[in-house]
Structure 1
Amino acid sequence: MDRKAQILDEARRHGRVTVEGLAATLGVSQHTVRRDLNSLCSEARLRRLHGGAEYIAPRTNLPYQTRAILNAEAKTAIAARVATLVPDGATIFLSIGTTPAMVAGALAGKRGLTVVTNNLNAALALSEAEDARIILPGGELRLPDRDLLSEDAIELFGAYRADIGIFGVGGIDADGSLLDFHEPEVRARERIREGSRSAILVADVSKFGRRAAALGGHVADADTVVIDRTPRPPFDAPLAPLGERLILAGSVAHV
């Protein structure tokens, strides 16, 4: 990873970075850091602050393959933690998205699962699970994400009742509102939540403050929220009332 990519990754993970801190982390001069920050700000990837810069969340969704490798360690930790909440023989819903797909991979060691999903990546990840029953909707496959969001796909979740529904989200606003990039994504996610005896929201910390246009649901609507670590203020505020419903799967909470 080149130096500018490292700076961008630090800013994405922590929300903001300082010239002094980056110089120490990267082992370069503060002048070099300032030059790199100016370049990233000119590309509208960071916003300059006194003594540093802050991350600008993308307004559009990134390509699937890019999202699949972003925050991979955090998503792996989330997936492993969620797998401990799913017993053998459960009926589960799985939403679209890279984190639910990684959860599916973590569930491949379970026995006797019935899985209803519009996420082909998740279905393939579970195809080797012992005695698994996998139910997919029909319709056109969205590429390159490899998911289905037709009306039939959305209604499929209404034809079943799941023990556990596991869903991701495009972004989480400062008031806890859940955001996605397209309105059918919201409807499918809400149908998963409504049709589950226990609904689990999975999101790595980069989703907090990430902007997306389609609004629906609130972080508090989930029965359980699994994240890698707490986000920076003010995005931590809607998590405070969750209590034991909030599970930190990754590193020590960010202050």
Structure 2
Amino acid sequence: MNISDRQTKILALVETHGAMTIEMLAEEFGVSPQTIRRDVNMLCRADQLRRSHGGVERMSAGVNLSYDSRRLSHPEAKRRIGQLVAQMIPSRASVMFSIGTTPEMVAAAMVDHDDLTVVTNNLNVAMALSPNSSNRIFIPGGMIRLPDRDLIGQEVETMFNGYRADFGIYGVAGVEPDGALVDFDQQEAAAREAIRMSCRTSILVADRSKFSRPAPAKRGRLGDADILVLDGPPTPEMAALIEAEGVELRYPEGDLV
């Protein structure tokens, strides 16, 4: 699916507000309702948004978007996170990566790193780093979840628990207002926790839209990470939670436009 800049911004607005009417979107972008309807129809056919009365809303809290759809959600924010985290990790490091599009963007920013030892259940990460023949890449056995191209389950947890990495990079579906981390599957959350407990420095990567984004499987806390990397400065509410959780915060200089 080819997506326009306006459609990318529509996704971001609906993710932020939960739902928007056609008229609100038309006014926001200064275009006709018919133009917005064409954009919305395309996004709904791609399962990135869901129709509601008079407009659109984000997908159900209990069901995650498809992997390719999540790639299109906040792409610039994820790119900024990826570039910052890549600067924190030297060549010849050992690194664990979780599933998710933001860890994949970190891997994409590390293509010029050499001699990495990579342990991951995210095949998108493995493929991003595989062109460099100096890297060693370990993946678990088991059945690949399609179309996400990842693996979860006991074999995954056993693999992560069998290594000790310099860095663990993991994403999360959402951060609750009380600091709890949530995902869409308990096995996803268990694999994330195995990464965190099997590395010397744990790095949680999350764009700011993840705060207060609901998901059903709760496990771990914001403050369990050593470092939290956001795409930009937090809101006052986020900042208060981050301070209360005691996690080190980093984000790129210069906010997103």
- TM-score normalised by the chain length of structure 1: 0.81
Partner of 2:193, secondary structure, is helix
Number of residue pairs matched? 242
* 1:192 is aligned to 2:195: yes
2:165 matches 1:127? no
Distance 2:215 2:96 in 1: 23
After superposition, give the CA deviation of every residue in 1:159-191 in whole Å (9 maximum; x if it has no partner): 000000000001111111100111111111001
| CA drift at 1:21 | 8.9
1:182 aligns with 2:185: yes
In the TM superposition, residue 249 of structure 1 has moved relative to its aligned partner by: 2.7
Work out whether 1:65 is the aligned partner of 2:68. Answer: yes
Q: Name the SS of the counterpart of 2:88 in structure 1.
A: coil
CA offset at residue 131 of structure 1? 0.7
How far is 1:26 from its partner?
Answer: 2.1
Relative distance call for 1:5 and 1:94 in structure 2 (3 A) is closer
What CA deviation, in whole Å up to 9, does each residue of 1:62-105 have, x standing for no partner? Answer: 01110011111100000000000101110110000111111111
2:105 is the counterpart of 1:102: yes
Q: Relative to structure 1, is the Cα distance of residues 2 and 198 closer, same or farther in structure 2, using a 3 angstrom cutoff? A: closer
Structure 1 Cα separation of the partners of residues 135 and 62 of structure 2: 37
Contact 1:230 1:253 in 2 (8 A): no
The structural deviation recorded for 1:248 is 1.6
Match of 2:174 in 1: 171
Residue 42 of structure 1 corresponds to which residue in structure 2?
53
Which of residues 114, 118, 126 in structure 2 aligns to 1:115?
Answer: 118
Q: CA deviation at 1:60?
A: 1.3
Alpha-carbon contact 1:93-1:192 (below 8 Å) kept: yes
Corresponding residue of 1:79: 82
TM-score, normalised via structure 2 length: 0.80
Distance 1:69 1:160, change over 3 A: same
- Choose from 126, 141, 144 the match for 1:141: 144
Match of 1:138, SS state, is coil
Cα distance change, pair 209–132 in 1 and its aligned pair in 2 (3 A):
same
% same residue: 44
- Structure 1: runs of 5 or more not aligned: 34-38, 47-54
Q: Which amino acid aligns with 2:53?
A: S
